[in-house]
Structure 1
Amino acid sequence: MINIKDNLDKIKAQINQACQQSGRNSNEVKLLAVSKTKPASDVEQAYLAGQTDFGENYLQDALEKITQLSHLPQITWHFIGPIQSNKTKHIAEHFAWVHSIDRAKIALRLNDHLNDIDSQDTPLNICLQVNISEENSKSGLSIEEILPLAEQVNQCKNLCLRGLMAIPEKNASTETYQKMQQLFNDLQQRYPSVDTLSLGMSNDLAPAIAAGSTMVRIGTAIFGARA
């Protein structure tokens, strides 16, 4: 039997340790619980243990959970998976954050959909996904594509540019994380709204935090292996 509260406590202890080792305050790093493929009951357990931010990759699965858990007042949903054009309407309606923007077309569609939502009073938080390790198998922007897309997102009245997201290759070098940190710092200098570096998972939490990550995405270590 998986004890989600205990697992959350263990992850938070790891985050605290990594922050101490890198001379950072643990309050600077937010935990995003990746709940993809997990049932709503697991998400609710985590919520009752104090976790409020949850990341989803698969839209249909996510929408079912969002509906089932609509009674939880402080829950915040983050979409972190690849986005197809026909999914943008539902993402715009149901999520507070999107971490996986790597095309202007998707950003503009999200912005346009939000024009049609009467209750929309806060912008959708956007992170640009960077393919920092230049892997053919992964989505994401090249370094040269970041600033042009950032400017387009910044001009969208219903979107708020918050930062960058990346999934470095397994056993990535320290230089890879430092490069990501520099890209984030450069973007911060240009846009006051930028405050989020979504970087680091279970296997690279420490180097990500050492490189300035402000949000780590943890799934299996909280909810157990996927079935």
Structure 2
Amino acid sequence: MAIRENVEKIKETIEKAAQKAGRKPEDIILLAASKTQPPEKIVEVYEAGIRYFGENRVQEGIKKIEALSNLKDIHWHLIGGLQTNKAKYAVKYFELIHSLDREALADELDKRAGKVEKVQDVLIEVNVGEEETKYGVKPENLEKLFEYSMQKENLRILGLMCIPPYFEDPEKSRPYFAMLREMKEQLEKKFNISLPHLSMGMSHDFEVAIEEGATIVRIGTAIFGERKY
């Protein structure tokens, strides 16, 4: 019952945050970040009404996708950093890749998607806090990567993703979320393109992210509870 209750609470919070921002709750995707969670836990979350799941590691994700292939209308996203040599598997198994962050990866994803006659949906990950330990293109290099990736036949860029620096106080994340939204708007204006998605906000700060325009919130702990390891 705990997972179902957690999901209901999160949905209520999403609704309130959306209303506060003058947005529609149905425009926000609640994605369960299922890293390290076993398939049976994912089934519980699915039964509580969630249809979007995000995995951090390609190999771990593939095992779960194959184990749960009987679940209908389920959407698998790759939300962790992606090594170029795993691109071919990512293209085969994941609907949306949130972590495009360099030209070499754009090349590889484009090539691998072409081989399976797929147009791969991607988000560009931006390292908004310019942290050494995090993936993502630096803000000043975003436009160059965006333009480069936009020219790839087998990639479709749907927006941006970020993981801001961690703060106990979620309000301190707000400037980073606002920065990502502004970057998206600048790209839309400059390239005359619509970018429907901003993937930002996790268990502790997703309300603020929604207020700043998030369309995908990646929630792990608040759904599954604290990880045991």
The interval holding the TM-score normalised by the smaller chain is over 0.9
The equivalent of 2:116 in structure 1 is 117
Whether contact under 8 Å (1:161, 1:193) holds in the other structure is: no
Are positions 1:150 and 2:111 aligned together?
no
The equivalent of 2:37 in structure 1 is 38
The equivalent of 1:167 in structure 2 is 163
Q: CA RMSD in A?
A: 1.5
Whether contact under 8 Å (2:128, 2:164) holds in the other structure is: yes
The equivalent of 1:187 in structure 2 is 187
Q: Structure 1, residues 67-110: CA drift from partner, whole Å, max 9, x if none?
A: 01111221111101111121111101100110011111112111
The 1:17/1:38 distance shift into structure 2, 3 A limit, reads: same
TM-score (norm 2): 0.92
Alignment length, in residue pairs? Answer: 223
Partners of 1:220 and 1:104 in 2: how far apart? 32
The equivalent of 2:87 in structure 1 is 88
**SS of the residue aligned with 1:161?**
strand
The equivalent of 1:202 in structure 2 is 203
1:15-164 residue pairs with structure 2 within 5 A? 15-117=14-116, 120=118, 123-164=119-160
Please identify, of 132-141 and 159-168, the stretch whose mean Cα deviation from structure 2 is larger.
132-141
Runs ≥4 residues deviating over 6 A? none
Partners of 1:61 and 1:32 in 2: how far apart? 17
Identity, in percent, stands at: 39
1:205-216 residue pairs with structure 2 within 5 A? 205-216=206-217
Deviation (angstroms), 1:199: 0.8
Gaps of 5+ in 1: none
Whether contact under 8 Å (2:174, 2:209) holds in the other structure is: no
**SS of the residue aligned with 2:130?**
coil
